Chains A and B, each alone.
Chain A
Amino acid sequence: MTEAAEQVTEPDIDLTGANAILDKYVDMHGALMPALQEIQEFYGYIPESTVHLTAERLNVYTSQIYGVLTFYAQFHLQPRGKYIVRVCMGTACHVKGAGRIADTIKDRLGVGHAETTDDLKFTAEYVACIGACGMAPVIMVNDGTYGSLTVQKVDEVIEKYQAME
């Protein structure tokens, strides 16, 4: 395959970090998962160029890495926002109007499921029951949980995070 086919339209990524991580894993069997996890930790997501680099350095097919990355929900191929807004779509929340909550977030932030705002501040994710059914409908922003939501309350939460760095 030629370089042209591999070329990607993502911003220039400094691969020094990925190289340093991979240095630890070359010649190690079963190194793929931990290496990818560390790369994600470092960049906040898995940039495409690091996939090609990992393929080359660990001598694994790019396709195989892509298979792993799409199989596990923990990996992200797109940059993610600083604040991850998890909207619970579980049964209890659904009944109590999770749809409206999601719509509000989409309206205010312009992002639906698995989408990220252009300023990389927010990523929305629709998830299954997060175990706080008693407070349905529920959202989580990073580690904070917000329950018994109304449209107005959602706005307050959003404003709070928008005001933060």
Chain B
Amino acid sequence: MVTLTIDGKQVTVARTATIYDAAKEAGINIPVLCYAKKLLPYGACRVCLVEVEQMKGRLIPSCTTPVTDGMVVTTDSEEIRKVRKTVLEFLLVNHVVECPVCDKGGECDLQDLTYEYEVVANRFQGEKFDLPTDEVNPLIERNMNRCVLCGKCVRVCDEIVGYGSYSFINRGFETKIATAFDRGLDCEFCGQCVSMCPVGAILPRPFKFKARPWQLKEVDTVCGYCGNGCTVTLGVKANKVETIRFNDKTGVNDGNLCIRGRFGYSYVNSTERLTTPLIRKDGQLVKAGWDEALAAVSKGFKAAGKNLGIITGARLTNEEFYLLKKVAATVGTTNLDHSGGECYKGVTEGLKQTLGVTASTATFPQVEKADAILAIRSDFYETHPVFGMVVNQAVKRNHAKLSIVADKRGKFGKLPDARSLVTKPGLELNVLNGIARVLLDEGLAVTDGVAGLDELKKALAGFAPEQVAAATGVTVDALQQTARELAAAKNSAILLAYGLPYTAYSKELATAAANIAILTGNAGREGSGLYLCGEKANSQGAIDLAVLPGNQGLGAQAMLAAAAAGQVRSLYIVNEDPLVSYPDQGKVEAALAGAEFVVVQDLFLTETAKQADVVLPAASFAEKDGTFTNAERRLQRLHPGITSPGSAKTDQAIFQALLVSLGDKVVYTGTEAIFDALKAGTPYAGIGYADIGLQGAVWGGDHLTVSKQLVPVGGGATVDAPFQLVTGSALYHSGTMSTHASGPNAVISAPYVEFGREDAAALQLVDGDMVQVKGSGCELQLQARVDNRLPQGVLFAPYHFASAGLNRLYKGEASVAVEISK
């Protein structure tokens, strides 16, 4: 610790602090422009200059200068004010002053400082910038005439996002921020640069001319898309979510968001939202009142009794999951499941057997400090982008060694010294087994307190590095290096994502990952963890609260089969569009046709809802109160920013009303009362609703206690065909919900099939060509994209789009053999 004096106040701070940090701690505000908490020190703008007694004769930039013992700092004086004013005058020489029509007005650092330092006239005269604005894309507008060259956009896109859109180009007066070849922006559209820009040079287009910042009501809530659980702060005006506000104080994401969180909110305001219940009459879905609809639903469910099947998505709140379980209990059915059943089932079973848990064993912030990271199957950028940014920082700032075992090359693979262990779909398992084998062979394995060692050794007989290399194409060296790095790491992180499009070998992969966690000493060690990352906002909540088949109950897939066979007579499908998102569309079709009475509860008239007998209009995350549990076991509070359109209700209100009409007598006074009721017998038992503060509450603590049971797993197999197709998530989308949002749709609005360059060249395909993809007895017509991620013979198609009909082809396997024709 270091003690210094700032404006007469004594402050003691960490040795690594800068003068700016120290002042902040002392409650003294130094103005800044180019400084940002989450970026590396830069020191370009000179607005933050201060006087230091020990460094007389010049002013010192406080944002880059480290504190030293006994330093005496003055942050405000005649001299300092004069210099700051001059800095501002210089900035305003070329800056086009158009505050009245600039959307940043009211929260612009330059505007605020100009006001504070009373820069009413300018001693300097010069040419104003006259650069064209970038309005090529629908999400982000760039007006470089307003730029103050603070470099924050350049730095955030590099340091945190790892995309690198921008650079300073040219020299002297001509210096400006531009993309490569000074073209329109074409990137991930995460909007990090928007959130960092201190002036109105980079702005969110959907928000243009919508409101002044002070007219917005700000509501902190949790992103409704993926299991990352980012805090999103809704900017609400007249009951409409107009934008997402920057907020780095609440939650775990440091103000970082992905395109879905930042621009994907628009589905909330969609005019296509359901506003009243619908009931099928004479073959047509017609509008109905809630009383009529609820009466029909409870009558139908009662008639079905134990033959009712309930399938939900994983974007309900914990409180809603609890009420849904009560609906099941009241009707008397144990057929209850979430998320397609298969996708979480395998991974949780695998982890249960080995580590004895069904959740991530540590929390996200620890990944930043990891020395070695192993990412399995998914480039986390596609499924959990903001977690991907954490990994970015671990690698770029702290030089963590990153290895990726996957069927394609992704963004992770471009990080400094990252090692991509790319193999054919299905063989990732063999690679993991190979790594485990190296750990054992080289005596690197931790074996203390570990059970099942002999069995594992036996099972790995066929996985010597040379054998694995021959089978998978991953080199012996890569297997060895990965194993050695993981074993040597003091802190390591093993990342495993799951979701509807990643169902194959899930149990085996989770088991193999857990084996590695145990053998490397990762399991149970402080600072290390295995991260189980669910696809949806409350995937972890669904597991924690056991939204699972009860005694003799059927899982999702079994329910569908039983419905097709007429045994499950009624289906209640909540918050999910299985016709589009579940593997094997035919199976879902047969189930919907076979069930006598189908109720769908959703925001939109989805493909599945169109087949229903009753449709109940539900609410989005932006209208809800309650809790989500993210992928690191963190419970976080949602807060409603707007009310639902028409007579749509939150799932919580719908379940409550349904319970009443089913004859359940218990009425809860509010969300907190439901939370208190649901806790018993769950991991949430020790958590009070009020304890869930700004940073949420992590159940089980930062480190979960785990068991260390090694479990043998065999290898996987891959399809032997010239072309095989894998499905998965595309960065810009999440499930099917984001396809209703104009933000993500602005970037990717239609299904496609992606080819690697070699395949594209061999097939003479270019971007945009239409191709026929034939396999599993059906044929799809898709647009081709060419990129450099896929190895030869492997194609990728994202699973989000209804129109693609992808799940007629994909039935849950690791990959499907396909034929391609133009």
Contact = CB atoms under 8 A, between A and B. Distances in A.
Nearest to B182: A66
A59 B162 CA distance: 12
A71 B768 CA distance: 35
A61 B169 contact: no
A63 B164 contact: yes
B167 A63 contact: yes
Interface string A56-70: 100101111111001
B709 interface: no
A67 B786 contact: no
Contacts of B187: 1
A66 B170 CA distance: 9
Nearest to A59: B414
Contacts of A48: 181
A61 B164 contact: yes
Grouping DSSP codes into helix (H, G, I), strand (E, B) and loop, the A interface class, with mixed when no group exceeds half, is helix
Contacts of B170: 70-71
B767 A70 contact: no
B168 interface: yes
Given A2-B785, A3-B785, A5-B186, A51 B180 contact: yes
A4 interface: yes
Given A2-B785, A3-B787, A51-B180, A64 B167 contact: yes
A5 to B, nearest CB: 4
B180 A65 contact: yes
Given A1-B186, A1-B187, A3-B786, A67 B767 contact: no
B768 A66 contact: no
Contacts of B163: 61
A33 B785 CA distance: 32
A66 B786 contact: no
A66 B178 contact: yes
Interface in A14-68: 48, 51, 55-56, 59, 61-67
B180 A62 contact: yes
B179 interface: yes
Contacts of A67: 167-169
A56 B788 contact: yes
A7 interface: yes
Contacts of A5: 186
Interface string B729-767: 000000000000000000000000000000000000011
Given A63-B179, A66-B180, A4 B788 contact: no
Contacts of B248: none
B787 A66 contact: no
A1 B414 CA distance: 14
Given A61-B167, A67-B168, A2 B787 contact: yes
Of A1, A7, A67, most buried by chain B (CB within 10 Å of CB) is A67
Nearest to A60: B164
A55 B179 CA distance: 14
Contacts of B165: 61, 63
Interface residues of B, number: 26
B543 to A, nearest CB: 35
A70 B768 contact: no
A65 B166 CA distance: 10
Interface residues of A, number: 20
Contacts, number: 59
A5 B165 CA distance: 13
B782 to A, nearest CB: 15
A8 B647 CA distance: 51
A31 B767 CA distance: 32
Contacts of A66: 167, 169, 178-182
Contact of A7 (B171, B179, B767, B785): B767
Contacts of B218: none
Of A3, A5, A51, A66, most buried by chain B (CB within 10 Å of CB) is A3
B761 to A, nearest CB: 12
B414 A63 contact: no
B382 interface: no
Interface string B411-423: 0001010000000
Nearest to A51: B180
B158 interface: yes
A71 B164 contact: no
Interface in B662-695: none
Contacts of A61: 158, 163-165, 167, 180
B295 to A, nearest CB: 51
Contacts of B164: 61-64
Interface in B167-200: 167-171, 178-182, 186-187
A70 to B, nearest CB: 4
Interface string B368-402: 00000000000000000000000000000000000
Of A3, A4, A63, A70, most buried by chain B (CB within 10 Å of CB) is A63
Given A4-B768, A5-B186, A63 B787 contact: no
A115 B163 CA distance: 33
Nearest to A5: B186
Contacts of A70: 169-171
A66 B167 CA distance: 8
A56 B413 CA distance: 12
Interface string B149-169: 000000000100001111111
A126 to B, nearest CB: 15
B771 to A, nearest CB: 15
A122 B788 CA distance: 38
A71 B167 CA distance: 11
Contacts of B182: 66
A4 B165 CA distance: 16
Contacts of A7: 767
B44 to A, nearest CB: 15
Contacts of B768: 4
B169 A4 contact: no
A63 B180 contact: yes
Contacts of A55: 180
Nearest to A4: B767
A55 B767 CA distance: 20
Contacts of B181: 48, 51, 62, 66
B395 to A, nearest CB: 13
Nearest to A66: B180
B583 to A, nearest CB: 27
Nearest to B165: A63
B13 to A, nearest CB: 35
Contacts of B766: 3
Contacts of B169: 66-67, 70-71
Of A1, A7, A48, A70, most buried by chain B (CB within 10 Å of CB) is A70
A42 B785 CA distance: 32
Contacts of B414: 59
A7 B416 CA distance: 26
Interface in B220-278: none
Given A51-B181, A65-B180, A71-B171, 17 more contacts: A1-B187, A2-B186, A2-B786, A3-B766, A4-B768, A55-B180, A59-B414, A61-B180, A62-B181, A63-B167, A63-B178, A63-B179, A64-B164, A66-B178, A66-B182, A67-B169, A70-B171
Interface of B: 158, 163-171, 178-182, 186-187, 414, 416, 766-768, 785-788
13 contacts: A2-B787, A7-B767, A48-B181, A51-B181, A56-B788, A61-B158, A61-B165, A64-B164, A65-B180, A66-B180, A70-B171, A71-B168, A71-B169
Interface of A: 1-5, 7, 48, 51, 55-56, 59, 61-67, 70-71
Closest 6 CB pairs of A and B: A61-B164, A67-B167, A62-B180, A63-B167, A5-B186, A70-B169
